């Protein structure tokens, strides 16, 4: 059975029956719009567009992984403001010959990733397209906190990261090289490419602790911290020795003769969180200090300025 | 100059500098997420995906018209809940060879359509794609009113429409037939295909007046009222003589030897509003009674059930 066999309304029905609705959803799928609780009186909102062939490949990632990844990168954007994600809405372009098993897995991936933060897919749109296109918008609640912008880092603050770095890049390199992921560590790196595991709860926690700047690492740590440096009018100095380099990243680098730190510093799509904090903030488990904020501009590693290596979608 | 010449960050910058930010936008483009006022404590949210070749053609519609259309159909969804639109976020897939003049016109179309309701484009995402892909999400504020669902129509209520019907279908038929739009009326029909003019303010007004059900007409009036009939568990009986048929629709039908009522009843994409009201509600200018709600099911025209003619995206 394919998407084309069911038709538009059948597909919508098939998707919505697989989507549990969380407490913040006051009106779920089926009307002109969903209605989501925004108790704070403000709503944080972020959107992304994912394209088959560019952001994922159906021969490399299952529908389930694509759903988790698409949800994760938007939920992470909202968490990076210090907000708690409440819901997603999702626009889907689907080929008529797409197997329903793939669509079901995609739906389940969305639902499961949302469930990790108590959010849910509250609405969407389905249309026919020659390739799979996924437009995701995440909403979140700030619970009375000021949003944590990119522009608040000040000289003397520390720079810290939470979550995985380099996993997605290592997994991608393994897949591209055609290296079989036949050990648990290599498999973990490939799984990290297929779907990230952002440290969502660390976002609101960082805001609570007084983080002065924060973002999620989507294009690569150096490039993304470059945005913080620019928006804040400061220099970011990193100490690579301080980075927690995951064993799967080390194992993949060994397998491919690569430098794991390159993936940690320049690899994107893990959706770790990077933040600046005043130096007197006691950081809880989950946050690792990896550098500091200084007067100046740019991002320095070992005192040397590194180009903003990362991903430019039109480069 | 093309999109590819500028690169991702140049494109984002080019777009955002053309987008004025309205009062509801507490944090606009440039961070991980935007922050939008939601004074009601709830937010109405709707999303759509528009694809080049399927929902618009660059040789038939200008970038400006595509922007207005993409904005309009989502703003109308929010208005159809009785909410006042506050903002959009937009994900764009853009070919590298897309001229910047087209992108600028698209951006201006979004900005101008938003301005008609005091909303603004508060954020987005840009990625490269072989065709133009537009993911639009609209947010709106309910201002203390209950959302007007599709399911509240009851026997004895009247059915009314606000806004244009049949213009988009007539314009599309003219374009498809290659008939030059060389009179003001024909040109108006073609303009109606290129960009709709939804009666946004009629949505919150209808909610205020006690509308029992409402939706925006995106797939065709018969099909969309079929959703109301089904969701409400009622029959909708229409009186075609009661419909206000616009002069441009009449002129296009005459030109093509077509039945204007067919476009009015089955044509989509005008984003008129259709609603049910208790019979004792005095409807203000802008709403036209076109039928009534009865016991039963389906949509009847002249007492005869009409198939749900309309647009099935996988049909």
Is A285 within any annotated ligand binding site? no
Whether residue B52 sits in one domain with residue B16: yes
Q: Can you give the CATH number for the domain in which B122 is found?
A: 3.30.1330.10
**CA-based nearest residue in chain B for residue A55:** B127
End-of-domain residue from the set A90, A110, A141: A141
CA distance B216 to chain A (A): 7
pLDDT at B312: 42
Residues in chain A within 8 Å Cβ distance of B139: 43, 45
Same domain, A301 and A162: yes
CA A278 from chain center: how many Å?
25
Q: Determine whether the interchain pair B128/A313 forms a contact, defined as Cβ–Cβ distance below 8 Å.
A: yes
Q: What angle do CA B6, A234, A210 make, to 5 degrees?
A: 110
Instruction: Quickly state the pLDDT bin for A315 (edges 50, 70, 90).
Output: very low
Element (H, E) at B76: helix B63-79
Nearest to B32 among A55, A92, A215 (CB): A215
pLDDT over threshold 90, residue A304: no
Whether residues B128 and B211 share a domain: the answer is: no
Best mutation site among B9, B13, B135, B271 for testing chain A: the one with the most A CBs within 10 Å? B135
Residues B174 and B294 in one domain: yes
Q: For an interface test with A, which of B49, B84, B120, B130 has the most A Cβ atoms less than 10 Å from its Cβ?
A: B49
* Assigned domain for B298 exists: yes
pLDDT of residue A306: 64
pLDDT digits (tens, 9 = 90+) for A206-231: 999 999 999 999 999 999 999 999 99
Domain closes at, from B110, B141, B172: B141
Tokens linked to B255: 């030109």
What is residue B306's predicted lDDT score, i.e. its pLDDT?
64
Residue B307: per-residue pLDDT: 54
Residue numbers of the domain that contains A270: 158-305
Interface test with B, best of A33, A35, A40 (most B CBs within 10 A): A33
**Measured between alpha carbons, how far is A306 from A123 in angstroms, rounded to an integer?**
42
Co-location of B48 and B96 in the same domain: yes
**B310, part of any domain:** no
The model's pLDDT over B172-197, given as tens digits with 9 standing for 90+, comes to 999 999 999 999 999 999 999 888 99
Shortest alpha-carbon distance between residue B239 and chain A (Å): 25
**Which CATH number characterizes residue A284's domain?**
3.90.650.10
Please judge whether A128 and B11 are an interchain contact, meaning their C-beta atoms are less than 8 angstroms apart.
Answer: no
For residue B31, the model assigns a pLDDT of 95
Q: Does residue A211 sit in the same domain as residue A76? A: no
- The answer on B133 and B9 residing in a single domain is yes
Distance CA B266, CA B166 (A): 8
Q: Same domain, yes or no, for A176 and A113?
A: no
Tell whether the model's pLDDT for residue A312 goes beyond 90.
Answer: no
How much is the pLDDT for B310?
42
Judging by DSSP bridges, how do beta strands A42-51 and A25-27 pair with one another?
A: unpaired
Q: Is residue A288 part of a domain?
A: yes
The per-residue pLDDT for range A232-291, each reduced to its tens digit, is 999 999 998 898 899 999 999 999 999 999 999 999 889 999 999 999 999 999 999 999
Whether B72 is in a domain gets the answer yes
Average pLDDT in chain A:
94
Instruction: Pick B7's closest partner by Cβ from A40, A54, A314.
Output: A314
* Domains identified in chain B, total number: 2
Residues B162 and B137 in one domain: no
CB B42 within 8 A of CB B145: no
* B294 within some domain: yes
On whether A120 is known to bind a ligand per the annotation, the reply is no
CA distance B18 to chain A (A): 19
Domain assignment present for B275: yes
- Is residue A27 in a domain? yes
Same domain, B206 and B276: yes
Look at residue A92 and tell me if it is in a domain: yes
Task: Answer yes or no: do B92 and A49 touch at CB < 8 A.
Answer: yes
Residues of chain B with pLDDT under 70: 306-315
CA distance B255 to chain A (A): 32
Are A95 and A202 found together in one domain?
no
Q: Cβ A33–B44 below 8 Å, yes or no?
A: yes
Choose one of A141, A175, A201: the last residue of a domain: A141
> Do A23 and A115 lie in a common domain?
yes
Inter-residue contact B205 to B296 (CB < 8 Å): no
- Averaged pLDDT for residues A108-117: 97
């Amino acid at each position: 059975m394919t998407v084309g066999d069911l038709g538009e309304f059948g597909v919508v029905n098939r998707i919505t029956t697989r989507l549990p609705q969380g407490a913040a959803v006051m009106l779920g799928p089926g009307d002109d719009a969903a209605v989501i609780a925004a108790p704070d009186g403000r709503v944080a909102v972020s959107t992304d567009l994912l394209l088959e062939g560019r952001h994922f490949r159906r021969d490399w990632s299952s529908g389930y992984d694509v759903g988790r990844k698409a949800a994760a990168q938007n939920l992470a954007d909202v968490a990076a403001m210090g907000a708690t994600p409440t819901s997603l809405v999702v626009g889907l372009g689907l080929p008529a010959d797409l197997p329903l098993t793939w669509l079901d897995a995609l739906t389940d991936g969305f639902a499961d990733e949302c469930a990790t933060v108590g959010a849910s897919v509250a609405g969407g749109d389905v249309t026919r397209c020659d390739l799979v296109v996924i437009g995701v918008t995440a909403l979140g609640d700030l619970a009375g906190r000021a949003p944590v912008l990119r522009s608040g880092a000040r000289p003397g603050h520390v720079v810290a990261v939470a979550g995985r770095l380099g996993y997605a890049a290592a997994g991608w390199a393994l897949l591209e090289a055609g290296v079989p992921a036949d050990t648990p560590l290599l498999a973990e790196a490939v799984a990290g490419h297929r779907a990230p595991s952002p440290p969502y709860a660390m976002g609101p926690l960082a805001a609570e602790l007084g983080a002065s700047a924060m973002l999620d690492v989507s294009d690569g740590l150096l490039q993304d911290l470059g945005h913080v440096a620019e928006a804040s009018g400061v220099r970011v100095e990193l100490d690579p020795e301080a980075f927690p380099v995951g064993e799967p990243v080390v194992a993949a680098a060994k397998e491919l003769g690569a430098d794991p730190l390159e993936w940690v510093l320049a690899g994107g799509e893990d959706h770790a969180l990077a933040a600046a904090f005043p130096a007197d903030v006691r950081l809880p488990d989950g946050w690792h200090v990896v550098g500091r904020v200084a007067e100046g501009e740019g991002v320095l590693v070992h005192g040397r300025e590194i180009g903003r290596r990362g991903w430019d979608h039109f480069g």
